[in-house]
Structure 1
Amino acid sequence: MVIDTRSMPIYLDKPALTPNAKLVLEKRYLRRDENGEIIETPDEMFWQVARAAASVEQHYDPQADIETVASEFYEIMAGLLFLPNSPALLNAGTGRGQMAGSMVLPVEDSLDSIFDAVKNAAIIHQRGSGIGFDFSSIRPRGDRAGSRPDAAIGPVALIEVFSRVTQNIRQGGIRRGCNAVSLGIDHPDIIEFIRAKADQSSLSNFYTCIAITDDFMQRVKQGLDYPLIHPRTQSVSRWLNAREVFDQIVDQAWRNGEPGFIFLDRINRDNPTPQLGTLHHVSGCGEQPLLPNEFAHLGSVNLSRIVKSDGDQTYIDFKLLASVVGTAVRFLDNLIDLTGYPTNESMLATKRTRKIGLGVMGFADMLFQLEIAYNSEQALDIAREVMSFIQRQALDASIELGQKRGPYPAFHGGGKPIRNASRTTIAPTGTISLIAGCTSSIEPVFATVFIRNAFKGEHQMLDINPHFEKAARQAGVFTSDLIERLVRCNHLQQQPDVPEELKRIFVTAHRVSPEWHIKMQAAFQEFTDAAVSKTVNLPHNADREELGIIFMQAYDIGLKGITAYRDQSRSSQPFCTGDIGISLVREYMNCR
């Protein structure tokens, strides 16, 4: 369905976008004509998406007031209260593509399955979604293939094939495909997989993670051996020492941030549809465990817009939050029906459970506004209060939809009908948080002032946290000299002219200890149906032992997955500080 944006009602407000948000939209999202000229405005894009999502209403109610529903959808997007995942912004109302952020694609141990997966992966990336793969069923390298006793290339070489196919396909015509690939800890090729990205140029569009079991972690603690299981014969291939394998994972993750961990048994304890099978797959950034062929339709509430002030009092507007969550759940459920699925299997799998993933962004901004330090018990209390509220409201909204439209087809059991098998997910929100003008996901701010390397290094964008700027101006310390110092060194704590109260409130990622990163992830995970995508940021001088402790703490506290990144452990990274930003600072200050 192609939407004519000329039908946009004149009473709708236009979005208040930052210069960086406008640049991102112009570079990646706004439609262009055949000559490459932009032919729509940000408000027209939001209306197109809103109108397309609202069009689904007629399927359930022929008398539905489409314009009213579209206006509600538009208002939460243009008001930067909520944004869906990027494919919905790119594709809704254009007559093409998927609306889901990512999906999982099964790869079975047969030539037909492998080549079907390669073909479908190319189609899915072209239409805008990322993909999660699990290669645990693939026979190991050197195994029998057909009549040849040692012809199998194994999972790692096969991942290289998928990488070459997808790395030059741009999602929605805009960006390269993003993939996550997991391998079971008991696969015979696990050591090769651990080292698969030792060369940083390898598998550049794949994130690697290892599917860990409770049994393995207990053997790590006890220093015991564990069996590697041949996926074709289900026989024991050989035995390895669990602690030594764990240390190899830690060593490689210390070197460049991969592989990460996913804790399969923990994930399956929360499996909403165990009757349909065990969860082995996670979506592209690890936040959404899915069954084979399921798509994940994701969106996030901007918590920085939920904080209000009344005189000297600042508070969380839970009434507004309830309204946004209810509208967002309806929006995401509609996207499931709006999506153009690449295969009949993916359509049936997705609509069978109708999983959606409503998450958050701007959490660090919320804490700044409330004058609460990220690494504090008070911040953990806010996390639990906000996410438990969102989880309850999302469930209520899903039940209301279930009563009107019917429950998801795989629903069975007593109680009220639920429309969506799972409702909440914490996704990374890397790009949509830029559009919303807020901090990403539940992460602490990287720095109060930093340079963002955008569009493969083509642009450097100055990022000054607006709440820090406001507080620094009120304290009379917001000067060009201070901002230049911050963009060079990223150490607010070392600035003698900055009041101690500002240093207490504006805690940056590397000032948050690993323990607090894990506690915060656990606080959100407690009230999240699916999983939480989060990175534990470590300083460059962190050692391997510290990283091993982090992974073990993540398991013990009950996380579903964990990723850690040591600063500057890769040759390129999206955030930086240094002299490169000085000219941008001076340009910014001259315009204020």
Structure 2
Amino acid sequence: MTETAGTSRARRGARRKGITIERIFTTEGVHPYDEVTWQKRDVVQQNWKTGETIFEQRGVEFPDFWSINASTIVTTKYFRGAVGTPARETGLKQLIDRVVLTYTAAGKEHGYFATDADAEIFEHELTYALLHQIFSFNSPVWFNVGTRSPQQVSACFILSVDDSMDSILNWYKEEGFIFKGGSGAGLNLSRIRSSKELLSSGGTASGPVSFMRGADASAGTIKSGGATRRAAKMVVLDVDHPDIEEFVDTKAREEDKIRALRDAGFDMDLGGSDIHSVQYQNANNSVRVSDDFMRAVEEGSEFGLTSREDGSVIDTVDAQRLFSKIAKAAWECADPGIQYDDTINDWHTNPESGRITASNPCSEYMSLDNSSCNLASLNLLKFLRDDDTFDAATFQKVAELVITAMDISICFADFPTDPIGETTRDYRQLGIGYANLGALLMATGHGYDSDGGRSLAASITSLLTGAAYKRSAELAGVVGPYAGYARNSDAHDRVMRKHQAANDQIRTMHTMDKDIHAHATKAWEAVVKTGEKNGFRNAQASVLAPTGTIGFMMDCDTTGVEPDFSLVKFKKLVGGGSMQIVNLTIPRALHRLGYAEETVEAIVEYIADKGHVIDAPGLKPEHYEVFDTAMGARAISPMGHVRMMAAVQPFLSGAISKTVNLPESATVEEIEDVYLQGWKLGLKALAVYRDNCKVGQPLSDGGSKGEEATTEAAPEKTVEYRPMRRRLPKRRTSQTTSFAVGGAEGYLTAGTYDDGELGEIFLKFGKQGSTLAGLMDAFSIAISIALQHGVPLDTYVEKFTNLRFEPAGMTDDPDVRMAQSIMDYVFRRLALDYLDFDTRSFMGIHTAEERARQLETGSYEASSSSDDSDDDYEGELESFSQSAATRAERAEAKQEEHADEVTSGAGAASARETSTDVHSSAELLEKFQGKTADAPMCMTCGTKMRPAGSCYVCEGCGSTSGCS
């Protein structure tokens, strides 16, 4: 029987008096809610394609400093109760109270606090930290704690399957329950006999890959049955399993099937009506490699594949050839990833209870079979003071507070299966982590791929885990160590000393990381000393999760351990819609680097225009690396990501959820090198993604997989589709607009179908020669024929707006005050006349009336909003150092002043916008969001998701592809 905290307390209560909770942020006698200004907001979500309202709750209450994005995501995702009923939560206070009061009551019940006063301080400090977005629990806590639902607090699960039909069918069942709750699970299939081995009946075994088909179909069915997130799962197979080559090829071969079906006319996009016919698409696959195998790869020697029954070698393979096969499959379809078995188990605190064989779907949680882990993440930017120093002491105190709360949750938590509940209560695995590392590094002038950046990240991670284990040892002295500690004490203490030794190896570079490292060193000294006396309350303490939805809840610029994704971000507005702004971290970083205010402004405007810092006015080239991002003109190299992971890995109980991005031009050999270096640098797991390698997704070119694949594969059948021309009626409605651009006068005639859709255009100029007239006639005919063949007008608007050549400058059209060329003006005018509001607003094209309305109310769209909308909008703008509208007006005025300096350059696709929504064009969207063509569409609101660790997250509504 497991010894409970209560019986342990009764037996040794004389020396267990509870934890004393220290005040960090709060003031005695003042509740945290009374220190902030609250405002009511309307949360309305619409499908951006159809305009259909998919969620509406009005009058929700949030602090004025919470962004619209954060309050929208929390309202739609975490508020409980049916909308429109009295049971529905109506504000952040109710949400936080539901969780915090449950934790506090459980802490008191189970003897965590020395006094009732300590319990109250705990309640207030936890409330303050959540209220001010200093940290967040993982999503299941917000979903379930304090409700009538099962009190599920864990987001990460590891299952187990043995070589029997009962166990395999039970695997399907357990995964189903976990998927139904919106969580994900992982497991290792290596115990299942291979297809090269015999059954006791004399027949041949099916092998693990065949059973993967059934599990994948089950996951896909449950996902399509209405889960809030896509089913997420990890399937692991050991490299010495006889079916390893079949496993490696599974998803790569399915990609070939997707290509063939797509070319035959089937809908094979993610979420498409026919994609369900493809197998293995609901799982991430990983190969568990051993040190012996990796050494065989380096030596070019043979490697044995072993029987599942007696361990005998039943086949041998060339290790280098198999390793290349793994890399080639990852090059083709991003699967499989790699997990380094010996490294994982060398840092295992509980080897006497069993090996670590698998991970959760995102590879950050690695522990015993049939176990779970609940997560929480700290917002690193909240600990950066105004003088750009990092508050290490407060960071440590918050980490200790949060790990205390996380451990309390296991006392009352429910679990999806009895074995998972038993293991989790016996080992009490926790996963404290952080978000906003990329933003912190940029704000403090550190390049992500730099020695200084890695030193700072390592010091912070070491302090985080040191603080967590320090508190874990203190808790063990109050409520007892975890039940499995006695059996594993030597191993656990050995791993603590390994963490401490790694901390001693950090090479600090600057005053900031030296101070953090000093705190970490003291924390690890306390860990070893207190742990030897009390033991530890938790088998595991830290991981680095993707922090998808909760990252938005905390208004983080970057997720997990990731760098900044791009230098320009979306910002939602109170009145609806959004605008793009240059990251507020950038001016802070420039000031930190010593640039004068006028230089900072010039650089920020340049970034708004170009999307990168290359050749930015006044910016020193040696500072470019500070502004490197995951995507774009100065994308961080693949090994830059690997080196950052290696810097923080020695200070984590678990691993890191992160995908190493490679350009489309990357080779199989480069992926081999990434996987090899990951092993040498001591990572526990590694996944890669080559841009556009997925063919079954939007905008994928479906090209060949390289010369080798082209020569080996059979020729693919190509089905050709021809567009049909929709001719205009003989008599049609048209309108003619006279215009003047930079002194050149002209006429635009637009003809429409009976339904009002644009079908033809004609361009004439007041003064023109025969050559120009002929070119304009030819251009008009080409555009008209294309429109009649179904080319959308918005495609031409995207291509021709911002095209820059003479004549350019002021126009006589109040809706388009400046034009960079006649083409720029013509297609802006056509957009205003023939595109719907949402489409052109998405491109940043608005009428004069709409721009005026936006400056007054914060919304381009006409609305009957409440009287406090103006106050809401003002409060929204005050959270920014510089509003987008103000920057845009300054940019426009500057262009008017220098209109005569506009130079030609028909390919200037990145030219600066001239309307007040200067940073909202579709062109900038494409440039600054990076190449996200391979990201899935959000199942909730229909917008494109973006990477977060090894998963995807929607910036519009906060939905994730299985991670939290």
Query: Of residues 14, 34, 41 in structure 2, which corresponds to 1:11?
Result: 34
Query: Would you say the 8 A contact 1:539–1:567 is kept in 2?
Result: yes
Deviation at 1:209, TM superposition (A): 0.7
1:294 is matched with 371
Residue 503 of structure 2 is aligned to residue 503 of structure 1: no
2:73 is matched with 24
Which secondary structure state, in structure 1, belongs to the residue aligned with residue 355 of structure 2? coil
Query: Would you say the 8 A contact 2:305–2:314 is kept in 1?
Result: yes
Residue 358 of structure 2 is aligned to residue 281 of structure 1: yes
Residue 240 of structure 2 is aligned to residue 116 of structure 1: no
Which secondary structure state, in structure 2, belongs to the residue aligned with residue 315 of structure 1? coil
Residue 156 of structure 2 is aligned to residue 79 of structure 1: no
CA displacement, residues 286-329 of structure 1 (integer Å, 9 cap, x when unaligned)? 1121111111111111111111123xxx1000121012101110
Which secondary structure state, in structure 2, belongs to the residue aligned with residue 316 of structure 1? coil
Between the aligned partners of 1:584 and 1:463, the Cα distance in structure 2 is: 14
Deviation at 1:463, TM superposition (A): 7.8
Deviation at 1:276, TM superposition (A): 0.6
Which secondary structure state, in structure 2, belongs to the residue aligned with residue 415 of structure 1? helix
Which secondary structure state, in structure 2, belongs to the residue aligned with residue 202 of structure 1? coil
What percentage of aligned pairs have identical amino acids? 27
Between the aligned partners of 1:461 and 1:196, the Cα distance in structure 2 is: 42
Code of the aligned partner of 2:551: S
Query: Of residues 440, 447, 451 in structure 2, which corresponds to 1:373?
Result: 447
2:566 is matched with 447
Query: Would you say the 8 A contact 2:482–2:538 is kept in 1?
Result: yes
Between the aligned partners of 1:166 and 1:43, the Cα distance in structure 2 is: 36
1:520 is matched with 644
TM-score (ref. length: structure 1): 0.88
Residue 105 of structure 2 is aligned to residue 55 of structure 1: yes
Query: Would you say the 8 A contact 1:90–1:172 is kept in 2?
Result: no
Query: Would you say the 8 A contact 2:581–2:608 is kept in 1?
Result: no
Query: After the TM superposition, which of the residue ranges 469-478 and 387-396 deviates more from structure 2?
Result: 469-478
Deviation at 1:206, TM superposition (A): 1.0
Unpaired runs of at least 5, structure 1: 1-7, 453-458, 487-491
Query: After the TM superposition, which of the residue ranges 492-501 and 551-560 deviates more from structure 2?
Result: 492-501
Between the aligned partners of 1:10 and 1:40, the Cα distance in structure 2 is: 15
Query: Would you say the 8 A contact 2:359–2:366 is kept in 1?
Result: yes
1:455 is matched with none
Query: After the TM superposition, which of the residue ranges 121-130 and 320-329 deviates more from structure 2?
Result: 121-130
Query: Would you say the 8 A contact 2:304–2:316 is kept in 1?
Result: yes
Deviation at 1:138, TM superposition (A): 1.2
Residue 617 of structure 2 is aligned to residue 540 of structure 1: no
Between the aligned partners of 1:103 and 1:573, the Cα distance in structure 2 is: 31
Deviation at 1:53, TM superposition (A): 2.2
1:126 is matched with 180
CA displacement, residues 474-526 of structure 1 (integer Å, 9 cap, x when unaligned)? 7124778853643xxxxx14464573476342111243222222221111012
Between the aligned partners of 1:188 and 1:477, the Cα distance in structure 2 is: 61
Which secondary structure state, in structure 2, belongs to the residue aligned with residue 22 of structure 1? helix
Query: After the TM superposition, which of the residue ranges 183-192 and 165-174 deviates more from structure 2?
Result: 165-174
Which secondary structure state, in structure 1, belongs to the residue aligned with residue 149 of structure 2? coil
Query: Would you say the 8 A contact 1:96–1:340 is kept in 2?
Result: no
2:683 is matched with 559
Which secondary structure state, in structure 1, belongs to the residue aligned with residue 386 of structure 2? strand
Code of the aligned partner of 2:646: A
Between the aligned partners of 2:398 and 2:383, the Cα distance in structure 1 is: 9
CA displacement, residues 392-434 of structure 1 (integer Å, 9 cap, x when unaligned)? 2111111111111111111124533211112111112122212
1:94 is matched with 147
2:896 is matched with none
CA displacement, residues 212-256 of structure 1 (integer Å, 9 cap, x when unaligned)? 000000001111111111213433221111101100111111122
Query: Would you say the 8 A contact 2:606–2:617 is kept in 1?
Result: no
Aligned CA distance change for structure 1 residues 319 and 164 (closer, same or farther; 3 Å): same
1:426 is matched with 544
1:196 is matched with 250
Query: Would you say the 8 A contact 2:288–2:341 is kept in 1?
Result: yes
Between the aligned partners of 2:698 and 2:129, the Cα distance in structure 1 is: 32
Between the aligned partners of 2:340 and 2:448, the Cα distance in structure 1 is: 26
CA displacement, residues 365-389 of structure 1 (integer Å, 9 cap, x when unaligned)? 1112211111111111101221111
Query: After the TM superposition, which of the residue ranges 128-137 and 549-558 deviates more from structure 2?
Result: 128-137
Code of the aligned partner of 2:73: V
Query: After the TM superposition, which of the residue ranges 467-476 and 292-301 deviates more from structure 2?
Result: 467-476
Query: After the TM superposition, which of the residue ranges 8-17 and 519-528 deviates more from structure 2?
Result: 8-17
Query: Would you say the 8 A contact 1:86–1:432 is kept in 2?
Result: yes
Aligned CA distance change for structure 1 residues 396 and 582 (closer, same or farther; 3 Å): farther
Code of the aligned partner of 1:112: D
1:392 is matched with 466
TM-score (ref. length: structure 2): 0.55
Code of the aligned partner of 1:351: R
Which secondary structure state, in structure 2, belongs to the residue aligned with residue 301 of structure 1? strand
Deviation at 1:28, TM superposition (A): 2.6
Query: Would you say the 8 A contact 2:567–2:607 is kept in 1?
Result: no
Which secondary structure state, in structure 2, belongs to the residue aligned with residue 348 of structure 1? helix
Query: After the TM superposition, which of the residue ranges 409-418 and 374-383 deviates more from structure 2?
Result: 409-418
Between the aligned partners of 1:111 and 1:381, the Cα distance in structure 2 is: 50
Within 5 Å, which residues of 2 pair with 1:178-257? Answer: 178-198=232-252, 199-200=254-255, 201-257=278-334
1:343 is matched with 417
Number of aligned residue pairs = 567
RMSD after superposition: 3.1
Between the aligned partners of 2:286 and 2:539, the Cα distance in structure 1 is: 25
Between the aligned partners of 1:569 and 1:477, the Cα distance in structure 2 is: 38
Which secondary structure state, in structure 1, belongs to the residue aligned with residue 123 of structure 2? helix
Which secondary structure state, in structure 2, belongs to the residue aligned with residue 11 of structure 1? helix
Between the aligned partners of 2:392 and 2:679, the Cα distance in structure 1 is: 32
1:467 is matched with 585
Which secondary structure state, in structure 1, belongs to the residue aligned with residue 534 of structure 2? coil
CA displacement, residues 308-364 of structure 1 (integer Å, 9 cap, x when unaligned)? 123xxx100012101210111011111222321122221111111111111111101
Between the aligned partners of 1:462 and 1:38, the Cα distance in structure 2 is: 33
2:673 is matched with 549
Q: Larger radius of gyration, structure 1 or 2? A: 2
Between the aligned partners of 2:88 and 2:579, the Cα distance in structure 1 is: 21
Query: Would you say the 8 A contact 2:448–2:625 is kept in 1?
Result: no
Residue 190 of structure 2 is aligned to residue 174 of structure 1: no
1:456 is matched with none
Within 5 Å, which residues of 2 pair with 1:255-274? Answer: 255-274=332-351
Query: Would you say the 8 A contact 1:104–1:295 is kept in 2?
Result: yes
Between the aligned partners of 2:293 and 2:840, the Cα distance in structure 1 is: 49
CA displacement, residues 138-186 of structure 1 (integer Å, 9 cap, x when unaligned)? 1223654563613x43222212211222234369952233111100001
Which secondary structure state, in structure 2, belongs to the residue aligned with residue 149 of structure 1? coil
Between the aligned partners of 1:569 and 1:321, the Cα distance in structure 2 is: 40
Which secondary structure state, in structure 1, belongs to the residue aligned with residue 394 of structure 2? helix
Which secondary structure state, in structure 2, belongs to the residue aligned with residue 239 of structure 1? strand
Query: Would you say the 8 A contact 2:161–2:191 is kept in 1?
Result: yes
1:3 is matched with none
Query: Would you say the 8 A contact 1:104–1:293 is kept in 2?
Result: yes
Unpaired runs of at least 5, structure 2: 1-30, 37-61, 256-277, 490-531, 572-576, 591-596, 700-794, 800-838, 845-859, 861-882, 888-964
Query: Would you say the 8 A contact 2:581–2:884 is kept in 1?
Result: no
Query: Would you say the 8 A contact 1:56–1:334 is kept in 2?
Result: yes
Residue 394 of structure 2 is aligned to residue 316 of structure 1: no
Query: Would you say the 8 A contact 1:483–1:585 is kept in 2?
Result: no
Between the aligned partners of 1:550 and 1:479, the Cα distance in structure 2 is: 34
Aligned CA distance change for structure 1 residues 275 and 256 (closer, same or farther; 3 Å): same
Between the aligned partners of 1:68 and 1:128, the Cα distance in structure 2 is: 33
Between the aligned partners of 1:483 and 1:294, the Cα distance in structure 2 is: 47
Code of the aligned partner of 2:565: F
CA displacement, residues 112-161 of structure 1 (integer Å, 9 cap, x when unaligned)? 111112112111222343101111111223654563613x4322221221
1:401 is matched with 475
Deviation at 1:271, TM superposition (A): 0.7
Between the aligned partners of 1:163 and 1:515, the Cα distance in structure 2 is: 33
Between the aligned partners of 1:109 and 1:464, the Cα distance in structure 2 is: 55
